[in-house]
Structure 1
């Protein structure tokens, strides 16, 4: 079997196979209504939270968030190569996989970008073996204790000195140079000339969840700056979503007890060399919610590993604030602060794997760290100090989604505050009830909130609810015109509403192919960051109980949500135009557009106003 497998064949295959048969051969499942339940194969649990939904064609774990189709299960749980997984499913369905005489060029932009990064990855690795100046890179890796097997596992390469090595090897025409530029592998100078972005560096490929290289990190050889360099963000690479070493970690350890989050590429490589392969690194940015959700897909416990200096302490606090949002029941977070002057790579070489694992097991529990930081400058022997601690902790505890975790954290806070937990809970509930609503800037008309406040006031699940409805009732896409979807683009102009962007893309997908079932719709997004979100929404995860209307009410609910989103988009556009009018920057056309939108808004309010009875 060679060449690219047609997406239509994959879609048809997912419709043919019974996902409960695929997963049931590997996981003990029990019938529960129209679904199946079992212990999740992606994390350790005692109470079944893993659901398989045959009529939707997907699975979802409400404990760790694992989700996907029959194909993604084989890829992620069984570690099957993509074509082997397709062949296995085809065997179950009794069909043959289409065979092509030769690979066909990928006709989509993302595919061409992936091909270019893959070619660059192979070129960098080749230079480490063949380039005349490779000795500097090889010596550096040897000094850091990295052997050939580990270097091969992580695909470590070498970007030689010089401004045009990669450019001349791969940028053979205008289209190839555009691809290199779009992926960030080359840069463009003010005079229009091109140059290699990575020069005289050890290269580290950054892979997506399917193991495909999508970007690179580079460590300078010598005294140049910056010491570490990442690919810029691109259509393939978003540093707030990706983790270095995630794919390699998943391949190395089936069900790790815990997974580490460290700071650098060599930390990950050095730990793997030393016998602790269950580590990933953030890519020059603070840990994000997406990072943590991915880590909890690997293990029920995440250990943040930080230097013990001031920068490490600041990074730990940022990570802890983010971690509050993902503390579901069954998840555990610890923090490990390293001795002065040490990093994970140097420490494991000095102490060995067993001693390092002992440090991990003794890492500071999240609750101990959080309350320790909040009370650092407080006198808990004094009433005022304990009251201040409770005041500081309340908004943080409110962010914790796990009921059991939140309850235990509240109990520990009550101990520190020296008051009954019931009394503390009652006070917290009362504080929520009397908090004043946020006031918005006054405008000549009832104006919408400014873009920076929208995310705090608009119910985040609104567009997600619409997407979940579409996955259950694809025919609802006919209610959303292309013109309406274009108007919704205003909501995601700053890139702050990925849910709106996904909704618009899903509607366009259904306009083109109205009869696609949910499993096929979702499979088209396999390998993208949106895939997990779609599967989660299809299973109702993250939505309040009773959020989705049933039967004929679903049509009305979809229409209402669409109307609210369109009104919100119009309000945001009005605000932008109003700001431009006030600063004198608005064109005559923009002024006319503003007053037209204002009249339309006033008309809506008049139409919705109660009619006075005579």
Structure 2
């Protein structure tokens, strides 16, 4: 008996690929993915890439998921590979019983039922009875390509239409009931759940239809209806447009969770191809895990009113126990009275991009979310607020991270509640100088490193591996890094003008120009800087951004690589890493790396990684 698809999906979900493959070959960061030398054929130049749910070797063509990797790497059969991975993941492999076989067959049949229903809904949208629904979608600005891509349809205006449509395909009312397309009635046979509604297919991460949502036109209630829980559909595990967002995230898009179907569709049409939405509920733990599979720091987008603030606070508190040093959240706020759909219609993609650019890391936003609406005028009120802040930090299971959050929250608390002494005047907020924070300093250091790279691309061959493994977040600096490495791989002449032309073609020209004009950049980023000066400065900023722990690991790996290859490039990398580590330990803080770097001019201030 074949194993149930749901079990195999759960097994893959619980088996991170990078740690599994890292046992067989050394992997280094390459953007948000990993790369290394292929374990299946001998190579000195890495061409083996590991993504969130599959691996691919551009040298020998090896490709697959966790199960495939164990089969190829260890010569295991499919059942052996599944058994081994299941043991590590704490899962029990389903036993081949007649009941399990029947469930599997029903699941396969139900996927076929859902596809047939989706085709029927799409056909009805183009019939005269679907004209009202089609006109509604057109009024919302959706193109024909978007209608097809999302498979939008019309449920029909008459009772029994879906049963009649699918009867000729051998699909029974009992199957429709099990798929969640019909509902039981006390006074008669089952009837359609979706009636007179625009239909939105809901797919799993592999693109299979698992349920539908329907929007009624006019003043009926509820406005939106989702299908019920079925063998295919569990609302708490599902995100609308997750299958499309996987591709969007892979191509460098910002992963953003918004509220509704139409918000997601409008954003995809506007070029934000990694947008998703929960299905009418607050984000669940399972949905957050899905977001983190796409990116370490997804953006949650909320309305700019009181309800949006409450939703942001609930999401933040739900996320706290799940945070780690490898995954967090950003929070973005829409202008009052707008949602992503209306914002894009009025202001175009730039209007929503501004919302994303203004997204704040959870650690920065959390104090305001907790303190909002909590007075702190009396000792009792201040003690209650402080207790609430400490409880929030204590909810984080990672003890080191919890300590950092507690320190940051209490720093804000003491700053906000410190009484003003008699005769002391508090400066107006508009004259306050931006605080020199670790985040601002790191942003300025990352901007300097990327600017040096853009101004002196001849150094890319030497720094490629180190640059690819550096954590630059998901913003424009990371996109510039990805564009530069892709340009290098294509074998171009290594000149700054050629690189800038390439980045302009992928939509980064304005950002890069603004970055290189920033008066706060170090001298090494200027075109007239000497090669040695530029290279020294690059490694200086790399060391500051990488940190001592990671530099030690890099140094050990470089030493091993030199011993194995006796390669001149490996020797240069080891020397540079050693120098960077020693400089960091000595506390060297050269031009552009000190506190003044945090006070970057407006161009640099907008380059937060």
1:199-278 mapped onto 2 (5 Å cutoff): 199-256=195-252, 258-278=254-274
Give CA-to-partner distance per residue, 1:506-534, whole Å, 9 cap, x none: xxxxxxxxxxxxxxxxxxxxxxxxxxxxx
Q: Deviations over 1:393-427 (max 9, x none)?
A: 222212213445323212212313449xxxxxxxx
Task: Return the TM-score normalized by structure 2.
Answer: 0.53
Unaligned runs of 5+ in 2: 6-16, 41-49, 78-101, 416-609
- 1:7 maps to which residue? 2
1:151/1:84 CA distance change after superposition, 3 Å: farther
C-alpha separation in 2, matches of 1:168 and 1:240: 32
Shift in Å, 1:134: 2.3
Shift of the alpha carbon at 1:377?
4.2
Q: When the two structures are aligned, how many residues end up with a matched partner?
A: 367
Q: How does 1:348-363 map to 2 (within 5 A)?
A: 348-363=344-359
Aligned position for 1:147: 143
**Which of 100, 110, 115 is matched with 1:118 structurally?**
115
Moved more, 176-185 or 367-376: 367-376
* Distance in structure 2 (CA, Å) of the matches to 1:300 and 1:85: 20
* 1:316 shift after superposition: 2.0
User: Are 1:302 and 1:332, in contact at CA under 8 Å, matched by a contact in 2?
Assistant: yes
1:329 aligns with 2:319: no
In the alignment, structure 1 residue 390 sits paired with structure 2 residue 386: yes
Note closer, same or farther for the CA distance 1:106–1:331 as it changes in structure 2 (3 Å cut): closer
Change (3 A) 1:357 1:38: same
Q: Deviations over 1:259-304 (max 9, x none)?
A: 1111110000011111212111110111111111100111122222
The residue that corresponds to 2:572 in the other structure is: none
Q: Is the 8 A contact 2:253 2:273 kept in 1?
A: no
The aligned counterpart of 2:300 is 304
In the superposition, the TM-score normalised over structure 1's length comes to 0.53
- Partner of residue 54 from structure 2, selected from 73, 78, 87: 73
Tell me which of 192, 195, 210 is aligned to 1:196.
Answer: 192
Output one character per residue of 1:310-369: Cα deviation in whole Å (capped at 9) or x when no partner: 332332222112111221113231222222321110101111212311211212332333
Contact 1:380-1:416 within 8 A present in 2 as well: no
**Which residue does 1:437 correspond to in 2?**
none
Kept in 2: contact 1:202–1:218 (CA 8 A)? yes
Distance 1:317 1:381, change over 3 A: same
Does 2:142 align with 1:161? Answer: no
- Contact persistence 2:333–2:355 (CA under 8 A): no
What SS class does the counterpart of residue 325 from structure 2 fall into? coil
**1:376 maps to 2:372:** yes
Q: Does structure 2 conserve the Cα–Cα contact (< 8 Å) formed by 1:42 and 1:255?
A: no
Q: Is the 8 A contact 2:249 2:295 kept in 1?
A: no
Measured in 2, the distance between the counterparts of 1:414 and 1:83 equals 47
In structure 2, the partner of 1:400 is 396
What is the Cα-based RMSD across aligned positions, in Å? 4.3
Give the Å deviation of 1:29.
Answer: 7.0
Q: Secondary structure at the residue paired with 1:301? A: coil
- Unpaired runs of 5+ in structure 1? 1-5, 11-22, 54-63, 96-104, 420-614
Provide closer, same or farther for how the CA distance between residues 148 and 174 of structure 1 changes in structure 2, counting only shifts above 3 A: closer
Question: Matched residue of 1:217: which SS?
Answer: strand
Aligned equivalent of 1:463? none
Q: Distance in 2 between matches of 1:358 and 1:262?
A: 15
